[in-house]
Amino acid sequence: MYQAKIKVTLKKGVLDPQGSAVQRSLHALDYGEVTSVRIGKYMEVNLEAPNKEAAEEQVKEMCQRLLANPVIEDYTYNLVEVKS
Amino acid sequence: MKFGVVVFPGSNCDTDVKYAIETVLKQPVDYLWHQEGDVAGYDCLVLPGGFSFGDYLRIGAIARFSPIMKSVEQFAGNGGLVIGICNGFQILLEAGLLPGAMKMNDSLQFRCQDAYLKIENNETAFTNKIMPGHILRVPVAHGEGNYYADESMVAELERNGQIVFRYSSSEGVVVPEANPNGSTANIAGVINKEGNVLGMMPHPERCAETLLGGEDGKLIFESIINWHQGGGKRG
């Protein structure tokens, strides 16, 4: 079995209202060194696949079709084999 | 003219839409459960507001794959009229039937208030009964109505007359203060290039009779009926 650890974030250049609010809050706590905050989603997807290449293919397709919205979001993933 | 209101698990404005169409506008209307596959015989499909599938993952992302959506896409592809209100708009964006995407309100607050709408295009199937210069007052109620389109997309929308409503002052001036959610270019509603699919964040069904504080929303439904009676084609 494989596990994909998937991160979805807003694309660079797309304003992140949540991230801005958290940044302001960190500044209010005197973390003046914070220059930007971006908030995203983290998902763990376990899947069966005959091999890693096949698993990767599936994960990519899942990200493109459902897990991320290509208009405003980017995704990255890390795929590892795990014991079922 | 026969309307169908698509109901997803978590839709909550379906009853209001049905009431406006049936009781106020005296037109036949049915609920269409999201697992149905057939939309034949309808002249206009409405995707109502609410929180379909609990807004999980991303608003509209799961509803967009409900079985009925294949039929909705086909219906729209054949020129049938489709209107998405609030959550319905978000679902149409996710389905790719309308351009752009929706983000969280820039204030991070849920906004429940009246909004004034400047009509940028009153020659559509959804706005033809609105007199030029008439500013609509229609309630909004959403946490994620921050419409996003990049610069080149906005320019294209403008060129094609696809921006139908903009948030404005009560006098119809488009200013940042009138924007309840941070939407790009104060956009409150867009239509597809072909002119038969409209998405809007404000709720016309909530102001379709004076008892509810205003009748401006009725103009949207009257436009649809007028367009249909004028020979609009069935999807």
Answer whether B178's CB lies under 8 Å from B167's CB: yes
Work out the percent of chain B whose per-residue pLDDT is above 70: 98
Q: Is the pTM of this model over 0.90?
A: yes
Side-chain-side CA neighbours of B212 within 13 Å: the count stands at: 19
What is the average per-residue pLDDT within A27-46? 97
Measure the CA–CA gap between B100 and B163, rounded to whole angstroms: 12
The two tokens of residue B165 are: 């409503």
Distance CA A45, CA B103 (A): 24
User: Mean pLDDT throughout B24-31?
Assistant: 98
- The percent of residues above 90 in pLDDT, for chain B, comes to 95
The rounded mean pLDDT for chain B is 96
Q: CB distance from B111 to chain A under 8 Å?
A: no
CATH top-level class of A2-81 = alpha beta
Task: Report how far residue B168's alpha carbon sits from residue B177's, in angstroms, rounded to the nearest whole number.
Answer: 8
Cβ neighbours of A13 in B, within 8 Å = 150
Instruction: Name the residue with tokens 């906005």.
Output: B154
Q: Is A17 within 8 Å of B146 when comparing Cβ atoms? A: yes
Find the distance separating the first CA and the last CA of chain A, reported in whole Å.
5
Domain locations in chain B?
3-229
**B234 falls in which pLDDT band (50, 70, 90)?**
very low
Position B233 scores a pLDDT of 47
Q: Say if domain B3-229 classifies as CATH 3.40.640.10.
A: no
pLDDT at A28 over 70: yes
- At A84 the pLDDT is 75
pLDDT at residue number B216: 97
Q: Which residues pair with B198 in a beta bridge?
A: B83, B191
pLDDT range class, residue B159, cuts 50, 70, 90: very high
Domain boundaries of chain A, sorted by first residue? 2-81
Residue B14 has a pLDDT of 98
Antiparallel, parallel or unpaired: β B187-191 and B197-200: antiparallel
| Whole-complex ipTM | 0.88
pLDDT digit string, tens, across residues A9-19: 999 999 999 99
Q: Sort B143 into a burial class: Cβ within 10 Å, 0-12 / 13-18 / 19+.
A: middle
Share of chain A residues as helix, strand and coil, in percent rounded to the nearest 5: 35, 30, 35
Residue B94 to residue A10, Cβ atoms within 8 A = no
Cα separation, B99 vs B153, whole angstroms: 8
Residue B11 has pLDDT above 50, yes or no: yes
- For chain A, say whether B110 makes contact (Cβ under 8 Å): no
**Mean predicted confidence (pLDDT) in B136-144:** 98
What are the strands, taking DSSP E only, across B23-172? 29-33, 44-47, 81-85, 101-103, 111-119, 136-142, 146-148, 163-168
> Tens of pLDDT along A46-75?
999 999 999 999 999 999 999 999 999 999
Residues of B in contact with A72 (CB under 8 A): 101, 103, 148
Q: Tell me how far apart the alpha carbons of residues B81 and B161 are, in angstroms, rounded to a whole number.
A: 17
- Set B13, B203, B207, B228: catalytic member: B203
pLDDT for the residue A45: 98
Nearest CB to B101; choose among A13, A66, A71: A71
B205 is catalytic: yes
Q: What is the pLDDT of residues B35-44, one digit of tens each?
A: 998 999 999 9
**DSSP state letter for B225:** H
> What is the tens place of the pLDDT at every residue in B166-198?
999 999 999 999 999 999 999 999 999 999 999
Q: Residue B37: what pLDDT? A: 87
Helix H or strand E encompassing B151? helix B151-159
| pLDDT surpassing 50 at residue A33 | yes
CA nearest neighbour of B189 among B220, B164, B207 = B164
Instruction: Map tokens 């997803």 to a residue.
Output: B8
